[in-house]
Chain A
Amino acid sequence: MFNATVQRIRTPAFKITKNCKSKDCHSVLYMIPHGRRFLSTSSCLYGKFLPRKKPRVVHEIAGLEPITYADRMHFVPGLAKPRFPPWDRGWKDPSHYTSPKLEDMPLHKDKPCYMFNQRTNVLEGVRQALWLSKSVIIKGLPAQILALAEDPANQIENQDERVQDAIKNSRLWDTTEPRPPRERFCPSLLHRLLHLCDGLQVMRPELAKRILAEKYSLAATWRRGEDVFQVRGQNGLLLNSMTPVPVLAGEEQIQSTADQALETFYPIAPTIDLQRTHIYQEKNDTGFREGYPYPHAHTLFLMEMGNTPKLFPEQLRAKMVMFAFGNALARAQALYGKEPRVLEKPIVVQSVATNGRLFQFVVFQLNTTDLQSDSGVKNLVWVDEDQPLYGFAKVWPFIKKKVVKVPAGLSGYQPNTFKKFLALYLHGAA
């Protein structure tokens, strides 16, 4: 039915009269979707049109040639409508372009590919992400990072005060409106916390060898069983560094993963909710060109603001695992080539996701790119779920029957969450 989605388009030239307001004449329409004309002002402005009825189906009878009025050059009632061969303009006119059918497109392949992009909301959550990336989960952060978190030498001075200030700035003092929306306070809080962590560069010069990158497009391809999978998309903030992240799990732990079985969830297939497409390109791209001074992906920061689309914590962790895996796999294929193999030097990518209050930490260690079979060495994932940074940050106190249940301002602050955040940031440089 809705072959084209309703989009806002610009005013056509012939509709711009001297009585039009200047804001209507922003730009002239030169692209009419599907070659249809809009016969009213509002449909011009909003691109909304009723779909055209399908033309009457004319059946061809083999052996019988219909007598058409083509040679008479005018309509003759009773004779058939002539069908002319499609006219080829000879050059590509962008405003009169009809895309070819799916089967005729150059990148069409018979074998479908299952794509995971930044809008995917997987049904089975982390279990599905573990199956897709052939990994084994360990609850809690690894010991090295926890040691970094507890070490008092790694703290910022007045750490708790400064973090609470950062929260109050982004949650309470950022706007004159009653409360800032999540799309505003979530990125604001994340950037303030990162800025706090950056302040440690004075003590540790290795922290200066990092850079934050936004809106980079990731592409990673792998095969699992008989299916092809890809991770694509612009996922979030990536902290790149000049030196790779040190390996967390020892050799024995990696070899012991070979004995653990991957969890399946019959009757649901692991390809559920992934975008199935026949038109794809098997691309492996870290998002940055060769010769980029900060080639190693260190930490991926994901922000969940509930708009594209709203993800529950389980699905958000799955998205973190998949994109961390995608980054690691793209890096491995850039370093070692596309041959599936067990890596001597495993690649570690960290990930932090937040919705403004709850933090999820994931550390992904890529041990092998041999993902075709279900057996053998597997990758490792450490997941720390649902760490609240604070309980409530209310502008007005929550009062029930004249008793203050939740006071105004910041309440329920948890210092451990920021310690873990800082530890993940310092990992590799301390």
Chain B
Amino acid sequence: MSVGLLSRALSALSVSRAVSPQIASVSGVSAALTGSRGFMTSACVCQNRSLWKQREKYTVRPIGMKKTGGRDYTGRIVTHGIGGGHKQRYRMIDFQRLRYEPGREDQPIVEKVVEVRYDPCRSADIALVAGGSRKRWIIATETMEAGDVIRSSSTIGRMAVLAKEGDSHPLGALPIGTLINNLELLPGKGAQYIRAAGTCGVLLRKVNGTAIVQLPSKHQIQVLETCVATVGRVSNVDHNKRIIGKAGRNRWLGIRPSSGLWQRKGGWAGRKIRRLPPIKSFVTPAQ
């Protein structure tokens, strides 16, 4: 509609009266059929800001990041309290444990932990694991050390597997009561839940072809039993016990001070004691 309005306005300004575009736009016929050319009213927004995260090929090398300062593409602050802080390099983490190397899909995934190190982009530590001819970063579990051998499997046997910390199995293969982390919601999608330092979920029960897991927030979710999760707690267990100590350390972490303006808190503030919400199911009825 706006294109039609603009073209009408511009044709009104020109000397030669172009009758057909006016009639065409008034009667609502599309410009393509009547032969008037449209034009773009907005410039192409192609910015350099998010190009550092457009890399498709996986690499172990850390990638330089661009900080946003809480601002979006318009330049306005969308999230307050973000900005500054030490420069960080992003290490691409492989959240899908069951990723097979091309050419070795039939062999079980066995990997050796080469190094466990600090990651500036998250609270947990990360581990460099090497298996076959490839290396990748994964989220390290609590007692993972250099030299450990970890396995990832996709088989669900009749008997539950004796879960070793660091290994990853489908939920259907784990005994109930195991502590798990890096949980997938849909099989093959990659871990989205329970990735923060020191967290762990509990496998509560297995029903039909699904499993019910309690997340660290005490919420319970139901996922397919073929979803893969890693056994154990995430590394850096004492992360919540750390003391920042001074305002400067918060600034090093990229956290800007909050606004000092006193505001009356409304109904949203304060402790709430409510019952747990019902179990959220990520299993569609067709499955």
Contact = CB atoms under 8 A, between A and B. Distances in A.
Contact of B37 (A77, A123, A269): A77
A50 interface: yes
A78 interface: yes
B13 interface: no
A123 B114 contact: yes
> Contact size class for A?
10 to 19
B269 interface: no
Given A50-B51, A78-B32, A268 B131 contact: yes
Contacts, number: 43
A414 B133 CA distance: 41
Contact of B112 (A51, A267, A274): A267
A78 to B, nearest CB: 5
Interface in B135-149: 135, 149
A1 B51 contact: yes
Interface string A252-277: 00000000000000111101101010
B54 interface: yes
A92 interface: no
Nearest to A112: B103
Nearest to A76: B35
A296 B130 CA distance: 39
A267 B107 CA distance: 11
Interface string B1-45: 000000000000000000000000000000111010110000000
A399 B48 CA distance: 48
Interface in B44-82: 46-48, 51, 54-56
A1 B112 CA distance: 30
A123 B135 CA distance: 10
Given A1-B55, A50-B51, A271 B133 contact: yes
A236 to B, nearest CB: 25
Interface string B94-131: 00000000000000001110100000000000000011
B132 interface: yes
B272 to A, nearest CB: 45
A269 B132 contact: yes
Contact of A267 (B31, B37, B54, B110): B110
A50 B50 CA distance: 11
Nearest to B149: A267
B111 A267 contact: yes
B55 A267 contact: no
A123 B60 CA distance: 13
A77 B133 contact: no
B246 interface: no
Given A78-B33, A267-B111, A272 B51 contact: no
A1 B149 CA distance: 34
9 contacts: A1-B54, A50-B51, A77-B32, A77-B38, A123-B135, A267-B132, A268-B131, A271-B133, A276-B133
Interface of B: 31-33, 35, 37-38, 46-48, 51, 54-56, 110-112, 114, 130-135, 149
Interface of A: 1-2, 50-51, 53, 77-78, 123, 266-269, 271-272, 274, 276
